[in-house]
Amino acid sequence: MIRLKLLRSERVMSQKELGEKLTLSQQSIHKYETGQAEPDINTLIKIADIFHTSVDYLIGHDSIYLNHDFNKISNVERMILETFRNSSPELRKSLCILFEKLSTSENINNAAEDPEKNEEL
């Protein structure tokens, strides 16, 4: 799969960690990344969800990374993205873990429903 390794590396995620999220082996992820095997459609969808992108992007059919309109992100979201991009790989990994934990919290889900409130932050 053309972009899996890139996405995984940007997120500072090992093949083993991705495999665990997908209930697959590290070897399966390696085979996907090297073109020795192809994931089924359900696995492709799960991978796209993990990396917040589209299946089309994963397979190289589309050049658009995320399914978000970056013209509509708030100043706080831009600051978070810029900070993340400028962080060390170790800090990125810690931030990813933190964001995953936060994304399951009720407060974050409620805040996501009303982006105008986030603009006030």
* CATH number for the domain that contains residue 21: 1.10.260.40
In a domain, 36, yes or no: yes
pLDDT at 19: 95
Give, for all 121 residues of the chain, the pLDDT tens digit.
778 998 888 888 999 999 999 999 999 999 999 999 999 999 999 998 898 888 888 888 776 665 445 556 677 877 887 788 788 888 888 888 888 888 776 555 555 555 555 444 4
In a domain, 65, yes or no: no
Number of domains in the chain: 2
**What is the 3 state secondary structure string of the chain?**
CCCHHHHHHHCCCCHHHHHHHHCCCHHHHHHHHHCCCCCCHHHHHHHHHHCCECHHHHCCCCCCCECCCHHHCCHHHHHHHHHHHCCCHHHHHHHHHHHHHHHCCHHHHHHHHCHHHHHCC
Residues 11 and 51 in one domain: yes
pTM higher than 0.85 for the full model?
no
Domain extent, residue 78, equals: 70-119
> Comparing C-alpha atoms, which of 13, 4, 5 is closest to residue 44?
4
pLDDT at 17: 94
Residues 40 and 77 in one domain: no
Residues 89 and 46 in one domain: no
pLDDT at 33: 93
pLDDT at 52: 83
In a domain, 63, yes or no: no
Look up residue 91 and give its amino acid: L
Tokens 């996501």 correspond to 112
pLDDT at 121: 45
Residues 12 and 41 in one domain: yes
Residues 8 and 53 in one domain: yes
Residues 51 and 79 in one domain: no
Alpha carbons 21 and 13: distance in angstroms, whole number: 11
The residue from 14, 37, 58 where one domain ends is 58
In a domain, 26, yes or no: yes
Residues 8 and 50 in one domain: yes
Q: How far is CA 79 from the centre of its chain?
A: 18
